[in-house]
Each structure stands twice: as C-alpha cells, then as structure tokens.
Amino acid sequence: MSNPAYVVFNVNVTDPEQYDKYRVFSGQAMAEHGAEVLVRGGEMTILEGSAHARTVILKFPSVEKAQAFYDSETYTTGRELRKDAAVADIFIVEGLA
C-alpha cells in the first residue's frame, strides 16, 4: 500500500479576478482526481518565519495520484491562468500511512 501524498500551495494572489478564473479549473481538476481538501485559506497564525497569504493543502492516495492531478490537462489549463495572477510555491510531500 502506498503512502498518502499532499499537494501544498502557498500563494499570494496578485490579480483576484484572474485568480478566480484559475480556481474554476483547479476545482474541476480536484474533483476529477479525487482530491481531499484539508486546508483552503483560513486564518493562519505564523509561529516562525514568514508565510504567503493563502495556503491550500490537498490529500491524495499517493504521490503518483498527486502528480497526475498536477500534470492533468485541466490543471495545466488552470496553471496557465494562475501564472499572471499569483506568486506561488507548490510542492508534493509524501505522508505517512
């Protein structure tokens, strides 16, 4: 059995109207790939260092499933819309079973 994986998005939105267009494709890709949304925005308390204004964490059954979401045609379309609407750090991290 593979370990779960998490896609973590740390985002500063620079163009909210354009970002809303990205969110349509992002949401569709999440539904297509069975993402479980664990965090979507919400109040944040910074304990050390700095953080982006928005954090999103998605859970997938495996690293491969997380990568398939990110590489999907639907999400790729969304990424193109996001590139001029936000500054983002995005990564996949393997979790524990």
pLDDT tens for each residue of 29-78? 999 999 999 999 889 999 999 889 999 999 999 999 999 999 999 999 99
Sheet harboring 86-94: ordered strands across?
36-40, 54-60, 5-13, 86-94
pTM: predicted TM-score of the whole model, two decimal places: 0.92
Q: What gap in Å lies between CA 16 and CA 22, rounded to an integer?
A: 10
Rounded to whole angstroms, the Cα distance separating 55 from 12 reads: 9
